[in-house]
Amino acid sequence: MKTIRETADLFGLSTRTIRYYEEIGLLSPRRSEGKQRLYSASELAKLKLIVRGKKYGFTLEEIKEMVLLFDKDRTGRQQLERTIQYGKRRIEEVELKIQELQEMKHEMEQLLSVFYNKLDHSKGD
């Protein structure tokens, strides 16, 4: 069992962020007699999934659905199926973004070429 401070340090998060995840139903820590939040291995595993999901650009709603599916189906099958579904969609979004960035890079390279030519021509004046 880890305290909220230990958990925050472990994942490089603020305690405020962890409390927010609890507020929206992603985490359910136990409470000590002194009402201190205590995070079990299960809650730490959920938080690891949340952090990973955020890293890969999933929304908190998507993450919540994936995390809570495991509570409904302990085999993990539904969670994996949904994760695959969201993952495929996210890959498509990333591929589109890469294409847009490559097009932008190409346009910028063309503009730079034009600017270099203008600069070269202005030296002769």
Tokens matching residue 31: 């409470």
Half-sphere exposure of 47 (CA within 13 A, CB side): 28
Tokens matching residue 40: 């079990």
CATH label of the domain that carries residue 65: 1.10.1660.10
pLDDT digits (tens, 9 = 90+) for 54-67: 999 999 999 999 88
**Percent of the chain surpassing pLDDT 90:** 77
Instruction: State yes or no: pLDDT of 123 exceeds 90.
Output: no
Tokens matching residue 77: 């099958």
Spatial neighbors of 15 by CB under 8 A, at least 6 apart, are: 4, 5, 8
The CA R_g of the chain, rounded to the nearest whole Å, is 23
Domain extent at residue 55: 2-123
Q: Please give the angle made by the CA atoms of 8, 11 and 16, to the nearest 5 degrees.
A: 35
Query: pTM score, two decimals?
Result: 0.76
Domains of the chain: total: 1
Q: Which of 71-75, 107-111, 114-118 has the lowest mean pLDDT?
A: 71-75
Strand, coil or helix: 37? strand
